[in-house]
Amino acid sequence: MQLYELSASELAQGLAKREFSAQEVVEAHLERIGAVEERLKAFLLVTPEEALSVAEEVDRKRAAGEVLPPLAGVPIAHKDLLCTRGVRTTCASRILANFVPPYDATVVARCREAMLPVLGKTNMDEFAMGSSTENSAFQITANPWDLERVPGGSSGGSAAAVAAREAPLALGTDTGGSIRQPASLCGIVGMKPTYGRVSRYGVVAYASSLDQVGPFARNVTDCALLLGVIAGHDPRDATSLPDPVPDYLAEMRKGAAGLKAGLPQELFGEGIDPAVKSTVLAAVDKLQELGVECEEVEMPHVDYSLPCYYIIAPAECSSNLARYDGVRYGHRTSQPVSDIYDLFAKTRAEGFGPEVRLRIMLGTYALSAGYYDAYYLKALKVRTLIKGDFDRAFEKYDVLLSPTSPTTAFKIGEKADDPLAMKLADICTIPVNLAGLPGMSIPCGFVEGLPVGLQIIGKPFGEAEMLRVAYAYEEAEGWEKERPEV
């Protein structure tokens, strides 16, 4: 068994028992990255010096008998929209190609305090807009299960890196599915925590009422461990909530028997591949055997999630991305300009890719005088109705279950020219962001050799119940032991 094959908790145990050193662990992962990255292209930047220096510190402190945090020495990779002090943070965009943040995002700082060596920054759809990582300005990441297929997106680099054993853990962000959908397509565990659970200070904003940071891991235990590192109040983020952080590991082990699960019919309907649906329903049967009471539930407004999201997210993006003007951040045009507006226009036309430009225009349109009420305000009202459906369902159920993604991983290029088909990839995940709820994806089987994910949706701050269901299922089925050959 190679060190890079071990899960985060196995690595943590081995490190604590001094079976191997943190430097050996980091070196094993750097070698693995060296061996597969040419085919996978999951990283935009690998940071060996930084990772090795933290590993050296971990080994030195452990040798001196210091008590270290549980994940000390276990490597991690960060999506390239998390600000890392002194380390380039591009959002996979030409406009930020040379942006070096002067500070760390709070989640990055927390991982640093927990002494996780950072292996590098992972590829993504530009500014997190997309579902395949094909919108990166720099490279296309491959799915470790089939190199001709996409890893999902927008956090596709993080998901592929974890699935391919380049890193045991990674962070991503999820605005409409960008953690759960790539986790599903790559056969790993990914969680979007409750809106407000994890700080977004230092996370480059896409749609601020929806964005949330969360963990990727190869099993539920590792996901719970990493969530425990990043969760909790941050005075630097006004949307971060002060609720205490439970001991997720202890909660997770309480078992799933007696919990009640609803199956929203709208998330099993039109557009869901029949083979994916039957794989997910088999997982539901298994959960029933384990004592989870499952029944169908109707959530009629959920059908409007996609149109609602594609007003709200672009509206917020048009406002958030106004700051990239060639004056304060990143790229500035070198063409001759006639005035300041010409400078903005030329800089932005050069710096942003087509999907980002499209969304800025859509959002600007939806917010403009005369259209604001018809589009933006209407979408906000629909969002409230969708949230109402969830509130009602959660009066009766502890969790909701659905497919994470309507299909398994699709071919690179297959949906690139069909924006509607691409957007349908998030049909099951977007409602969860609109309602501000936590959701996670866990592996639940394969269709034609490609992984399928089960989505578990929780109440606000219901991460513990989600983990109980996920862990009970994983213990019973063990899908996480399947690994892609890269």
* C-beta atoms surrounding 223 within 10 Å: 31
Alpha carbons 327 and 332: distance in angstroms, whole number: 7
Single out the residue of 7, 9, 122, 154 in contact with ligand GLN (rule: CB under 6 A). 154
Single out the residue of 156, 177, 187, 214 in contact with ligand GLN (rule: CB under 6 A). 177
User: Per CB under 6 A, which region of 78-86, 128-136, 292-300, 325-333 contacts ligand GLN?
Assistant: 128-136
Single out the residue of 40, 230, 313, 432 in contact with ligand GLN (rule: CB under 6 A). 313
What is the CA angle 251-152-212, rounded to 5? Answer: 45
* C-beta atoms surrounding 20 within 10 Å: 16
Single out the residue of 174, 234, 316, 465 in contact with ligand GLN (rule: CB under 6 A). 174
SS3 399: strand
CB of 135 to ligand GLN, least distance (A): 8
79 has catalytic annotation: yes
User: Per CB under 6 A, which region of 94-102, 176-184, 261-269, 275-283 contacts ligand GLN?
Assistant: 176-184
CB of 99 to ligand GLN, least distance (A): 19
Q: Which of residues 190-219 bind ligand GLN (CB under 6 A)?
A: 206
208 has catalytic annotation: no
Single out the residue of 122, 131, 219, 407 in contact with ligand GLN (rule: CB under 6 A). 131
**Whose Cβ is closer to ligand GLN: residue 174's or residue 474's?**
174
**Whose Cβ is closer to ligand GLN: residue 201's or residue 206's?**
206
**Whose Cβ is closer to ligand GLN: residue 23's or residue 132's?**
132
Q: Are 129 and 359 in contact (CB under 8 A)?
A: yes
Q: Are 329 and 297 in contact (CB under 8 A)?
A: no
Catalytic option among 7, 9, 79, 405: 79
Single out the residue of 129, 171, 284, 452 in contact with ligand GLN (rule: CB under 6 A). 129
Q: At what angle do helices 22-40 and 48-63 cross, to 10 degrees?
A: 160
Residue environment code for 152-190, b if the CB has 16+ CB neighbours within 10 A, otherwise e: bbbbbbbbbbbbbbbbbbbbbbbbbbbbbbbbbbbbbbb
Binding mask 386-425 for ligand GLN (x = CB under 6 A): ----------------------------------------
Comparing C-alpha atoms, which of 63, 99, 48 is closest to residue 204?
A: 99
CB of 176 to ligand GLN, least distance (A): 3
Phi first, then psi, for residue 393 (nearest 5°) are -60, -40
Alpha carbons 219 and 481: distance in angstroms, whole number: 9
> Interface with ligand GLN includes 175 (CB under 6 A)?
yes
Q: Are 315 and 376 in contact (CB under 8 A)?
A: yes
260 has catalytic annotation: no
Element (H, E) at 335: none
Single out the residue of 74, 128, 198, 284 in contact with ligand GLN (rule: CB under 6 A). 128
**Whose Cβ is closer to ligand GLN: residue 9's or residue 305's?**
305
Sheet holding 213-217, edge to edge: 43-46, 118-122, 76-79, 169-173, 213-217, 189-192, 439-447, 450-458, 399-403, 260-264, 293-297
Q: Are 182 and 218 in contact (CB under 8 A)?
A: no
CB of 314 to ligand GLN, least distance (A): 8
CB of 29 to ligand GLN, least distance (A): 26
CB of 130 to ligand GLN, least distance (A): 5
Alpha carbons 289 and 275: distance in angstroms, whole number: 21
> Interface with ligand GLN includes 426 (CB under 6 A)?
yes
Residues 6+ apart with CB under 8 A from 103: 83, 85, 202
**Whose Cβ is closer to ligand GLN: residue 439's or residue 462's?**
439
**Whose Cβ is closer to ligand GLN: residue 130's or residue 436's?**
130
Single out the residue of 73, 75, 117, 130 in contact with ligand GLN (rule: CB under 6 A). 130
**Whose Cβ is closer to ligand GLN: residue 140's or residue 290's?**
140
User: Per CB under 6 A, which region of 170-178, 248-256, 290-298, 441-449 contacts ligand GLN?
Assistant: 170-178
Phi first, then psi, for residue 173 (nearest 5°) are -130, 155
CB of 298 to ligand GLN, least distance (A): 25
User: What torsion, rounded to 10 degrees, do the Cα atoms 428, 429, 434, 438 define?
Assistant: 130
Catalytic option among 154, 158, 184, 318: 154
- Taking the chain, what is the end-to-end CA distance rounded to the nearest angstrom? 16
Tokens of 109: 């700082």
Alpha carbons 59 and 38: distance in angstroms, whole number: 30
> Interface with ligand GLN includes 23 (CB under 6 A)?
no
Tokens of 201: 């200070």
CB of 206 to ligand GLN, least distance (A): 6
Q: Which of residues 325-344 bind ligand GLN (CB under 6 A)?
A: none
User: Per CB under 6 A, which region of 56-64, 175-183, 226-234, 248-256 contacts ligand GLN?
Assistant: 175-183
CB of 423 to ligand GLN, least distance (A): 7
Active-site residues, by number, are: 79, 154, 178
Query: Which residues make up the interface to ligand GLN (CB under 6 A)?
Result: 128-131, 154, 174-178, 206, 313, 426
